[in-house]
Chain A
């Protein structure tokens, strides 16, 4: 539901990152890292991105999304594992709170500019 806001922030950061000395820059790809636990719907994000980049150097750019797995560690027994569903119970000790090590990312790694 908030993908438009996220797309807008993403576009601002990407546009800021284009070197000023490039004439008529055109971004081909935007590399993103999105955690599986992040509340982002990829299709909505792509849809919003397409709409707001019309007529900008990002027009037609592809969003290349690296999906980051949810990795956690048990505070009781320090067992670490990858969470695949909504259950965060420690498979080793069945007890203990967990620390999230990854899976909430929402980052721009890089942009790739066309060479022409």
Chain B
């Protein structure tokens, strides 16, 4: 006997993500899900982004890691409110799921925020699959990872709304073709905005900050 089901396997996450999106929009907070592989310079990029946005745009951070509070401590130094999620309590998950964001967001005073940035767990695969109720997704790729990563991890670059190409200060020391990296990102996701930045020298942040301000004020 065949029993017809026709249900999405991740429907529980999707339902919670929709609930999160409603909760955020009621509080007029724009939510950005920031993803990348480990060590791409996400946290440093975020620190500089927060400093450039505050105090005109009030930013809060949810940061996910399997272990440690290191990133929360680094980001807390910017003065922005930070909530750390450690997924080792939940089996060392490789991504942030919508129910974890719900729990973390309720620890924050969202009425006093304009922008909530979720720094996802460093991983170019799993976070791409899980909606957390965000309004936009950003992916950070550092030039040290090689220009072919977008082709190897197409889902991540396909679901992203914006891409940051970080660590361009290291280009003189690398055999990496920056234009090819941009081309590869745009092969996977035609028309996606790509900003070339260095979180170390703070080069190239104007375009990215402008894009983000447009989202928050839009």
Contacts and interface: CB of A to CB of B under 8 A. Distances in A.
A96 to B, nearest CB: 6
Interface in A26-56: 32, 37-40
B93 A2 contact: yes
A3 B191 CA distance: 31
Contacts of A104: 155
Given A2-B126, A10-B9, A89-B190, A110 B3 contact: yes
B6 to A, nearest CB: 6
A86 B5 contact: no
Given A1-B94, A1-B123, A88 B158 contact: yes
B12 interface: yes
Given A109-B5, A111-B2, A90 B190 contact: yes
B126 A107 contact: no
A2 B150 contact: no
Contacts of B9: 6, 9-10, 13, 32, 106-108
Contacts of B186: 89
Interface of B: 1-12, 91, 93-95, 97, 123, 125-126, 128-130, 150-152, 154-155, 158, 186-192
